[in-house]
Chain A
Amino acid sequence: MAPAGALVTAPLVEMRRISKTFGGVHAVEAVDLELRHGEVLGLLGHNGAGKSTLIKVLSGVLMPDSGEILVDGQRVEIRSPRDARAHGIETIYQNLALTDNLDAVANLFLGREIAGRFGFLDDAAMEHAAAGTIARMKLRLPSLHALVSALSGGQRQAVAIARAIHFNARVLIMDEPTAALGPEETRKVGALIRELASQGIGIILISHDIHDVFDLADRLTVMKNGRLVGTCATAEVSKDEVLGMIIAGDLPAALARRHRPVASA
């Protein structure tokens, strides 16, 4: 899709000076966020730091009071989750939004079923397509016809991711994807996230816990009290420095020198 030239060098998603207030309280104030192609970006901050609000703006659940969103360098209007999906932005909620009483295939196609005339489902075609996506993600599920209630936490996560990927997500927003998983499953989901990034998909991992994302993310964006603290490459900072950003809102010394202070912007 993307032609050569400017569009390739433009970030996948750019949010510029996004602000959102709820009853006079600034939930998000003039925050910038940039997501590049094939990158895993960690979005960190305490509860109430504004990261969920910022993400809801990107996924179309909330409309910002001001600011703009660019996809591939083009300004876009995202007024609903449907708009977001049309731009390839898919959100995986913490509860995964799966229905336990249906199987993996039914969940993958929920709301977007392959159906023939008069709305009758083409189950074989859906199973075939689902198997293709699962293979592309290098995943293994016990059976495509196992009820989701019978799957492990990591497998459920995988089904939710497969659903987004199947419908050509280019931006994947994941809310605390590994918070509820054991170490082995966390490792598997982590490998899956890296695999997707290597295919060019941009991934935003939301977390309040540095340990969840530090090993996975290429870059980290930290928020505090609705404002942007700063963005840094994971390779250039230590965990302690990032903790300082989350808790005190301090920029690491190396970063502070070249970072433009938020307050005077």
Chain B
Amino acid sequence: MAVRIERVSLAAGRVASGVGIDPRLLAMLGVLLAIWVVFDLLTGGLFLTARNLFNLSLQVAVVGIMATGMVLIIVSRHIDLSVGSQIGFLGVLGALWQTQWVGINTPTAWWSTCVLMLAAGVLIGAVQGWLVAYGRIPAFVVTLGGLLFLRNAAYQLNDGKTIAPLDDTFQLLGGGINGTLGATGSWLLGLAAVAGIAWSVVQGRRKRSAFGFAVRPPLVDALLVVVWSAAVLGFVAVMNAYKRPQSEIAMGIAIPVVILAGVTLAMTLLATRHRFGRHVYATGGNPESAELAGIDTRKMTVQVFALMGLLCGLAAIVITARLNAAATATGTMTELNVIAAAVIGGTSLAGGIGTIYGAVLGAVVMQSLESGMVLLGVPSPLQKMVLAVVLILAVWLDMAWRRRGRS
């Protein structure tokens, strides 16, 4: 039985890579589907409901946004342990700003808070990156210091008191009752995504054939467009199936999910189609070679950490807005979820290897397990123990996969 499954999966992998789909992606989607079905059966149909999937999408957003940045950090052979403390600190900073300085529910409050939190995130990341690159201090040490420093700086800022409530417009960014696109908006976004998928496939074909390179059979490309479009529209349908309490008004896609989608797209382009990403992967693969090729690896390290800080700012906006409160402890231990998402998604801790979509899928897997166990009433300590085992198991499987791929 096991042998047969392996044979089938191997064959599927060959077919997939033959038409240019990463077999790892298929494997992860398979694992995710299995997790969902098992939880749905165990909870008696509570897991695969519009309500639960909507909440799951919100939980994934915060970890997913940060995990895309963590991929580039780990690919360049570093680590950032401070991301959880960063969102705690940035949340308190932004909340103080809007409540004490500009005042909530003023026209400037929401966007000036966002600008401040993003800028502060970039600054924090740049300082840490500078210490790693030019101070030659291991990233583990610098960001462990950052973890301690920022968590306690968050406490110092407001004597550990939670700040609430926050600006009404700002709250929309957290995806609360009003922070969604609604039915029409969700369908429009879904259709735009479908158009984008079709356009990118056509564009890719045109470019390759302009140079006389081989292109995939048109039928395969058409099938790809159909499958991805179905996935996007299916997601929209599920989100629209979740109604506001005591009404028939559809919630639709939550704004944090829109932000995550935008971040995933932008980070994927940066990692795979941009000079910066190419240099990050080259440096992770062989730092000496990258330097000999004329890449300024120190400047690049500062930029990677600054980018991580920017994404922490974005994640901090989402989580602070969702909670409608800034607490000192927000984001405690989130760094582990973020690192786990990247690693489960196939990012190699040795550097040089990792994908953005893998990390986002890793975040979905992590949050699905957590969400499912909450539904099952698994006690919190036991949940964490299960996640720990899953993390180790995932890395083990990943390494076995790579070893076989090499031989």
- In chain A, positions 78-102 with a C-beta closer than 8 Å to chain B are 81-82, 93, 95-102
Distance to closest chain B CB from A48 (angstroms):
23
A82 with B294: CB separation less than 8 A: yes
Distance to closest chain B CB from A84 (angstroms):
12
Distance to closest chain B CB from A150 (angstroms):
8
A124 with B289: CB separation less than 8 A: no
B211 with A111: CB separation less than 8 A: no
Give the number of residue pairs across the A-B interface with Cβ within 8 Å.
Answer: 78
A123 at the interface (CB under 8 A from B): yes
A258 at the interface (CB under 8 A from B): no
A22 at the interface (CB under 8 A from B): no
B292 with A102: CB separation less than 8 A: no
Residue of A nearest to B286 (CB): A99
Q: What separation, in Å, do the CA atoms of A113 and B275 have in the docked complex?
A: 7
B392 at the interface (CB under 8 A from A): no
Residue of A nearest to B350 (CB): A101
Q: Please, what's the 1-or-0 string for B290-334, where 1 marks a CB less than 8 Å from any CB in chain A?
A: 101111000000000000000000000000000000000000000
Q: What separation, in Å, do the CA atoms of A111 and B300 have in the docked complex?
A: 12
B239 at the interface (CB under 8 A from A): no
B235 at the interface (CB under 8 A from A): no
What count of chain B residues pass the 8 Å CB interface test?
27
Q: What separation, in Å, do the CA atoms of A124 and B203 have in the docked complex?
A: 12
A124 with B213: CB separation less than 8 A: yes
List residues of chain B with CB within 8 A of the CB of A149. 406
B269 at the interface (CB under 8 A from A): yes
B295 with A111: CB separation less than 8 A: yes
Listed stretches B27-35, B110-118, B276-284, B375-383; interface member? B276-284
B127 at the interface (CB under 8 A from A): no
B282 with A120: CB separation less than 8 A: no
List residues of chain A with CB within 8 A of the CB of B352. 99-101
B211 with A127: CB separation less than 8 A: yes
Interface residues of chain A, those whose CB is within 8 Å of chain B, are: 81-82, 93, 95-102, 106, 110-113, 115, 118-121, 123-125, 127-128, 149
Interface residues of chain B, those whose CB is within 8 Å of chain A, are: 207-208, 210-211, 213, 269, 273-276, 278-279, 281-282, 284-286, 288-290, 292-295, 352-353, 406
